[in-house]
A and B are shown apart, each in its own frame.
Chain A
Amino acid sequence: MVEKSEMIRVEKLNKSFGDLHVLKDIDLEVNESDVVVLIGASGSGKSTLLRCMNFLEIKNSGNVIIEGETIDPEKNDLNKVRQRVGMVFQHFNLFPHKSVLENVIEAPLMVKKIKRAQAEKEGKELLAKVGLGDKANVYPNKLSGGQKQRVAIARALAMKPDIMLFDEPTSALDPELVGEVLSTMKELAKEGMTMVVVTHEMGFAREVGDWVVYMHDGKIVEKGHPKELFSEPKEQRTQDFLSSIL
């Protein structure tokens, strides 16, 4: 078997907000094309861990290594690093003053400085890919939650990232709209995108995840393949969590 290259490595990561110690000595590795699903109760630190991976939160100690490069927030250009690590948010955070296509091409135009014609062509392709080819000129307020989140995914993909982070991408959606976003994410996983996903969708974790990581109280309690972790969790706390939600 070919060794997959390492995309993200987190070493002894600690993060506090004031007196609140949110992440405690986290070690985690994400390899190329892996889909790593972070699960755990709210307040367990999973979103903070995700946000440390694109430096929206800056660690207090430890290392975050992106594609082999240890990132020092003081020295590295984080804007450059973030171009390689896309993110999708719980509340979509689409730009309401821009049309769907403008949302998608904004960063390629302004950050990567590619030509407008090229950006629009690629943007339209991405919108078609997430099933919204006909919505290019619509403003976000005219979209359903599921459509908004798919635009947000297209917007992140427009920067051609190597890694995609998903922060509870379906938590703000009406139940009937969850499916369309998950299937878009499934497609992406199938294409070999490296993904780290914070979610409460256990079905998705089971079906798409290569690894499931259970976090509790700022620590990783257990990491395993979904089949093993869901059917025979090794830790009592994982069992308790799973039985409380399933």
Chain B
Amino acid sequence: MPTFAHFFETLLESYPVFFEGLWLTIRVTFVSVLIAVFIGLFFALFKISQSKILNWIANVYIAVIRGTPLIVQIFIFYFGLTEFNIPKFWAASIGLALHNGAYIAEIFRGSIQSIDKGQMEAGRSLGMSHTLAMRRIILPQAFRRALPPLGNQFIIGLKDSSLAAFIALPELFSVATTQGARTFDEMTYLLIVAVYYLVLVLIFTLLVNLLEKRLSASD
């Protein structure tokens, strides 16, 4: 085990080496989760739709994604997409987006269905179409209710982005293993990268809590 002094010193000194990886991790996470939210919203609407075909499409998508390991999905997208000269960054982002999208679809479905039926009826009774009432009345409330599990999913997505190291994307975790191998000081660099992830998660948790507080002004 490294001494605390050695760990702390390396933590401070290695900052320039980690910076690129940190920035890449943040980008992959934000891009993939942003896409995942849209995918999740669409598949949630598919799932609650009256159309049996749309239900079926959503169910198959969710079953396939939840039924296979993320690392397998990332490799499939890596080999599948790089064949078309699509960069690794996008292979990782799309893989993570489709993965998180399946879980977010279930989060949105639950939160949409948890909104009182009277809300839709009130909208319809005022002459709104189903789509308009969904957009103006149901979804804003459902999104607010989905925020805590969504934040949780975002944290999972952030940590899962470390799997992109296995397709040689130079993100945080990959920097740690590379530096560890180079210096034969693996444990120090693994502890350092753990600190990076922990701080990212804590900052993000704080942001979600602030957002929740702001949005709950009317509760």
Enumerate chain A interface residues (CB-CB to B < 8 A): 54, 56, 79-80, 82-83, 85-87, 89, 91, 93-99, 106-107, 110-112, 139-141, 152, 155-156, 159
* Cβ of A141 to closest chain B Cβ, rounded Å: 6
Q: Are A89 and B141 in contact (CB under 8 A)?
A: no
- Give the one of B123, B124, B126, B144 with max A CB within 10 A: B126
Cβ of A56 and Cβ of B119 under 8 Å apart?
no
B67 proximal to A (CB < 8 A): no
- CB-defined contacts of A111 to chain B, threshold 8 Å: 126-128, 132
Determine whether the beta carbon of A96 is less than 8 Å from that of B218: yes
B124 proximity list for chain A (CB < 8 A): 56, 79, 82
Asked whether B126 lies within 8 Å of A82 as measured between CB atoms, the reply is yes
- Give every chain A residue within 8 A of B125 (Cβ-Cβ): 54, 56, 82, 85-87, 89, 156
Residues of A within 8 A of B12 (CB): none
B136 touches A106 (CB 8 A): yes
CA distance A92 to B31 in the complex (A): 41
Whose C-beta in chain A lies nearest to the C-beta of B115? A96
Task: Give the residues in chain B near A106, CB-CB below 8 Å.
Answer: 126, 136-137
User: In the bound complex, what is the Cα–Cα distance between A54 and B122 (angstroms)?
Assistant: 11
Known pairs A56-B121, A111-B127. 11 more at Cβ < 8 A?
A89-B121, A89-B125, A95-B119, A95-B141, A97-B140, A97-B218, A107-B123, A107-B127, A107-B128, A110-B136, A139-B218
- B140 and A159 contact, CB distance less than 8 A: no
In the bound complex, residues from chain B placing their C-beta under 8 Å from that of A56 are 121, 124-125
Q: Which residue of A lies closest to B128 (CB)?
A: A111
**19 contacts across the A-B interface (CB closer than 8 A):** A80-B127, A82-B124, A82-B125, A82-B126, A86-B125, A91-B116, A93-B118, A93-B121, A93-B122, A94-B122, A95-B141, A96-B219, A106-B136, A111-B128, A111-B132, A112-B127, A139-B217, A140-B218, A156-B126
| B141 A97 Cβ-Cβ under 8 A | yes
A40 to chain B, nearest CB (A): 22
The answer to whether A89 touches B144, judged by C-beta atoms less than 8 angstroms apart, is no
Contacts of A98 in B (CB 8 A): 218
Nearest chain A CB to B136's CB is how many angstroms away? 6
CB of A107, distance to nearest CB on chain B (Å): 4
- In the complex, the answer to whether B121 meets A83 with C-beta atoms within 8 Å is no
Chain B residue at smallest Cβ distance from A96: B218
Is B129 positioned at the interface, with any CB of A under 8 Å from its CB?
A: yes
Please name the residue on chain B nearest to A158 by beta carbon: B126
A residues near B128, Cβ cutoff 8 Å = 79, 107, 110-111
Complex CA distance for A86 and B124, rounded to whole angstroms: 10
CA distance A79 to B132 in the complex (A): 11
Q: Which 3 A-B residue pairings sit nearest by Cβ, starting from the closest?
A: A93-B122, A107-B126, A83-B127
Which residue in chain A gives the minimum CB-CB distance to B218?
A139
Q: Which residues in chain B, 93-130, are within 8 Å of chain A measured between CB atoms?
A: 116, 118-119, 121-129
CA distance A110 to B124 in the complex (A): 12
Within 8 A of A (CB), among B169-219: 217-219
Closest chain B residue to A90, Cβ basis: B118
B123: A residues at CB distance < 8 A? 107
- CB contacts (< 8 Å) of B118 on chain A: these are 89, 91, 93
CB B141 to nearest CB in A, in angstroms, measures 5
A219 to B46: give the CA distance in the assembly, Å.
Answer: 40
- Nearest CB of chain B from residue A227's CB, rounded to whole Å: 32
The closest CB in chain A to the CB of B122 belongs to: A93
